[in-house]
Amino acid sequence: MALKATIYKADLNIANMDVHQYGDFQLTMALHPSETIERLMVRVLAFARFADERLEFTKDLFETDEPALWEKDLTGQLVKWIEVGLPDEDKVKKAAARCSEVAVIAYGSAVAEWYKRSSKLKTLKNVQVWQLSEATTLAIQDLCERTMQLQLNVMDGEWTLIGDNAQAVIEWTQLQ
């Protein structure tokens, strides 16, 4: 019998004073049996970085042709494609041809080597690559609960994610 995904819910309040973006988002995410808590929480941060009412989680681990998140316009056309982890560069290149905005949220100890090997990515003008520090991905795991109340504060480029029992400073590096 196959293992089923575990459902996580997060009420995410964003107060980004740098770009004057404020909002409340109710997120429902499925944690695939092969997925880690670290990746689940990185998906929350990916949502927070590109937060929009039409941004949604996909079935990326069930459907390999889908990203972790995407945004479609009112006609159903893809506008944003957001990958989490260290995706195959051909998948990112294909997404860049389909969408006006593509982002990769990379994390883990192999990011530098992956980015160095991904020469095709560097030629794509509509692709952003963001790296999360290992300290960040370690700290955000402490915020994870099946039902989460999260507050994201952004001011002067500093990101702080606050949960009921802990908080984490989010360290982003833009590689591209």
pLDDT above 60 for 169: yes
**What are 85-137's pLDDT values in tens digits?**
999 999 999 999 999 999 999 999 999 999 999 998 999 999 999 999 999 99
Task: Indicate whether 2 belongs to any domain.
Answer: no
Task: Indicate whether 1 belongs to any domain.
Answer: no
Q: Give the pLDDT confidence score for residue 46 in this predicted structure.
A: 97
Higher pLDDT, 5 or 39: 39
Task: Indicate whether 151 belongs to any domain.
Answer: yes
Kindly state the tokens that stand for 7: 């459902």
Task: Indicate whether 57 belongs to any domain.
Answer: yes
pLDDT above 60 for 40: yes
pLDDT above 60 for 1: no
Number of domains in the chain: 1
Exposure of 55 in the CB half-sphere (CA atoms within 13 A) = 23
C-beta neighbour count of 3 within 10 angstroms: 8
The CA distances from residue 31 to 7, 8, 9, 114, 121, in Å, are 6, 7, 10, 25, 28
Task: Indicate whether 107 belongs to any domain.
Answer: yes
Query: What's the pTM value of the predicted model, to 2 decimals?
Result: 0.93
**Mean pLDDT, residues 73-79 taken together:** 92
Q: Give the pLDDT confidence score for residue 33 in this predicted structure.
A: 87
Exposure of 167 in the CB half-sphere (CA atoms within 13 A) = 8
The whole domain housing 77 covers 7-174
